[in-house]
Structure 1
């Protein structure tokens, strides 16, 4: 009998202004430092994906979101080259309170508004793949699996 599958769940918040999305440059984290990704993080115990997205957006870039500000746009089942899997839920927000700023300078080298159709080449690979899927109108993808 095989062990029950378990996965880390990540949440991503795409803050949009026209054709641009907000990205953060990772720093001093030990994972993907020097690469860009949207405000994101993994769920904490007893937290829904919506609550996690709201918390991460506030902690990382200082914007306040309400549940009705978030719209589900994509889910990706990702596996890294070491075989570790994650499930990432992407939400889009076109309205929020506050001006985005770098609230975690110890983990983020800076923020920028990037064209969603032409992300910086140093965007985290699976995040860039998911954003491309979102731009094409797809709500689901797999990344890093043998047939994905």
Structure 2
């Protein structure tokens, strides 16, 4: 039996130091190259919890160890993008689980230089340009919450 549709889950981990976040500049990935993105992110593998995926990605991409107990859920983002040439085609749907932490072991560094052309800390009020659009939406909500001018919704949408 063919799947009706497939939703792809991903885990994102935003390392924080007060009002600063660690971002990585994408390179040679085929998706939003040149854009800044969460320091660690990736697809949840079969049989893996989203919590474990966030910790694994932190180790694989940044060389830091994060315990699941130190992950703080930030938001869940249900997003879609439509193929501009085929407006009535199947939707590309994703569910992104965003976490943050201020506790890790090791010094963050670029572990996949073939996929990254930069890694740096940025103040939430001074984010670089460009940032991957759906990630920017989450970072803007985080900034508003940090300044006391808003709360991060438990569930957000993008592209609908």
Q: Is 1:116 aligned to residue 131 of structure 2?
A: no
For the residues of structure 1 that align with 2:126 and 2:82, how far apart are their CA atoms?
25
Greater alpha carbon shift after TM alignment, 6-15 vs 76-85:
76-85
> In the alignment, is the contact (CA less than 8 A) between 1:27 and 1:106 conserved in 2?
yes
Query: What per-residue deviation string (whole Å, max 9, x for no partner) do you get for residues 68-94 of structure 1?
Result: 110101000111242311110000111
Whole-Å Cα distance in 2 between the matches of residues 125 and 58 of structure 1? 24
Normalized against structure 1, the TM-score is what? 0.91
Q: What is residue 7 of structure 1 aligned with on the other side?
A: 7
Aligned mates of 2:82, 2:33 — CA distance in 1: 17
Residue 48 in structure 1 maps to residue 49 in structure 2:
yes
Q: After the TM superposition, which of the residue ranges 110-119 and 32-41 deviates more from structure 2?
A: 110-119
**Once superposed, which parts of structure 1, at least 4 consecutive aligned residues long, lie more than 4 Å away?**
none
Structure 2 stretches lacking a partner, 5+ long: 84-90, 144-149
Which one is further off, 110-119 or 123-132?
110-119
- How big is the alpha-carbon RMSD for the aligned residues of Structure 1 and Structure 2? 1.6
Q: May I ask how many residue pairs the two structures share in their alignment?
A: 144
Q: 2:92 aligns with which of 77, 84, 92?
A: 84
- Name which one, 1 or 2, has greater alpha-carbon Rg: 2
Unpaired segments ≥5 residues, structure 1: none
